Structure 1
Amino acid sequence: MLAECIRPDHGFTADSRAIRMLIDILASYNRDEQRLFLQFVTGSPRLPTGGFKSLNPPLTVVRKSLESSLDPDEYLPSVMTCVNYLKLPDYSSADVMRAKLRLAASEGQHSFHLS
């Protein structure tokens, strides 16, 4: 069900290893981890009525562009909250992705505030 709610684009497809790892990670999150992730990606700690599939625009996950000589495992994911857009490096493993998402969500959630 979660897979139907994520729109892979720009370097990722529904069959990409990174998208499958992301879905597995999100499915394993507890309530607090879900809130942190949502706050990071959308700017809100809660989903709209109807859940992920009701996000407008939908959650779009794209491959974060890096120079070929750079190690994706050294970079954090980034977001564009106004359009629910997650720029995700193509990490080497689910453990690396989980750690980088956790760090980005916990440290990055207060980086931008509307007044």
Structure 2
Amino acid sequence: MLLKVISSLQMCMTPRELAEQTSKNFPQRLKAVRTSSGLTQDQLAEAAECSTVALSKFESGVNRPSFENLISLAAALNMSVDGLLGTTSGTPDENPKKAAALAKLDSAIKDLSVDWIDAITEIAKKAK
């Protein structure tokens, strides 16, 4: 929800530009999401049922994950594939660390009441 609002404010890209930007940002984004979740490479690799070597190569940009690994990584991180890729609403998030924090916040507020979400929104507006 929060990510959709933020993403709708970003500039639109062609499908090819979106794919290129997402691919370029993925290694840093994966590492940022993993570290913000408090996981080591070993822990995430075990949870996603992939090797630590493979995960290391995904984070360094040496290799790209298969669809199966991408889905496993997202599930292990308790987020959508779209969220892991940083392409919510079809636009990439430019700052991987900020995107990871926003994804974590978005996940945390899903079970809150509307009143709490409104209160958090007001706090965010004041923090600008």
TM-score normalised to the size of structure 1?
Answer: 0.35
Instruction: Point out the structure with the larger strand share.
Output: 1
TM-score normalised to the size of structure 2?
Answer: 0.32
Identify which of structures 1 and 2 has the higher relative contact order when contacts are C-alpha pairs closer than 8 Å and 6+ apart.
Answer: 2
Q: Decide which structure has the larger Cα Rg and report it.
A: 2
Instruction: Point out the structure with the larger helix share.
Output: 2
